[in-house]
Amino acid sequence: MYLYGASGHAKVIIEILEAAGERIDALIDDNPALNEVCGYPVRHDAAGCSPLIISIGANAVRRRIAATLNARYGTAVHPSAVVSPRAVIGVGTVVMQGAVLQTSVRVGRHCIVNTGVSVDHECRLGDYVHLSPHATLCGNVQIDEGTWVGAGAIVVQGVHIGRWSVIGAGSVVTKDIPDGVVAYGNPCRVVRYIREGLPGENFSEEVK
């Protein structure tokens, strides 16, 4: 396995792969001064590197890199994670220590399911989603592409959170959240729109 990105997030994935008994061939990073991380060599060119995990925490950066690389992707699931045999995990996704994915959960490509996250039955995560440590999704939650759910946030059953939004740490989400917003609180409410989304997308700056 190769890891694209050699920061702190990569160090966590290294330990997940080590715990799972997976071979780590090298890391890839564009910093020419960086030649080693955690005892593994760092390359500066991704040519021929497969399978690969994009080990970068920023959702939009993972999306941009995935769009440019012609690579086969792997996954990393820590042995302490509890993953239902009926759960589906997309390529490039990382499931960290102590996470729980219950029956019929579907996780998209290049997602991060962080430490101690709980995802209950039939939840759906789009591509490039990041669930921060100890976030909790109750049953039948849908989170669309690129959204980041902060540490310790709780999303109650049946809620739908749109694309490329940010849910603040510790929030309690009881109602649907639209695309391209920052929302937080208990109960969680939209506080502003994100000025710029992905290329070709623009959201208004403030909530009216």
Model confidence pLDDT, tens digit, residues 81-124: 999 999 999 999 999 999 999 999 999 999 999 999 999 999 99
Band of residue 205 on the pLDDT scale cut at 50, 70, 90 = very low
Q: What percent of the chain has pLDDT over 90?
A: 91
Band of residue 198 on the pLDDT scale cut at 50, 70, 90 = low
The model's pLDDT over 24-50, given as tens digits with 9 standing for 90+, comes to 999 999 999 999 999 999 999 999 899
| pLDDT surpassing 60 at residue 203 | no
- pLDDT of res. 202: 53
Q: What is the C-alpha to C-alpha distance for residues 171 and 63, in angstroms, rounded to an integer?
A: 26
Neighbours of 58 (CB within 10 A): 14
- Contact indicator for 109, 92 with CB cutoff of 8 Å: yes
The model's pLDDT over 129-166, given as tens digits with 9 standing for 90+, comes to 999 999 999 999 999 999 999 999 999 999 999 999 99
Q: Is 78 a residue of the active site?
A: no
| pLDDT surpassing 60 at residue 199 | no
Band of residue 201 on the pLDDT scale cut at 50, 70, 90 = low
- Active-site hit among 9, 121, 130, 134: 121
Band of residue 207 on the pLDDT scale cut at 50, 70, 90 = very low
Q: What is the C-alpha to C-alpha distance for residues 105 and 95, in angstroms, rounded to an integer?
A: 13
- pLDDT of res. 204: 45
DSSP conformation letters of 73-133:
B--EE-TTSEE-TT-EE-TT-EE-TT-EE-TT-EE-TT-EE-TT-EE-TT-EE-TT-EE-T
Q: What is the C-alpha to C-alpha distance for residues 38 and 146, in angstroms, rounded to an integer?
A: 29
Q: Count H helices and E strands in the chain, helices first.
A: 2, 24
pTM for the whole thing?
0.93
> Average pLDDT in the 173-199 region?
89
What single letter denotes the amino acid at residue 95?
V
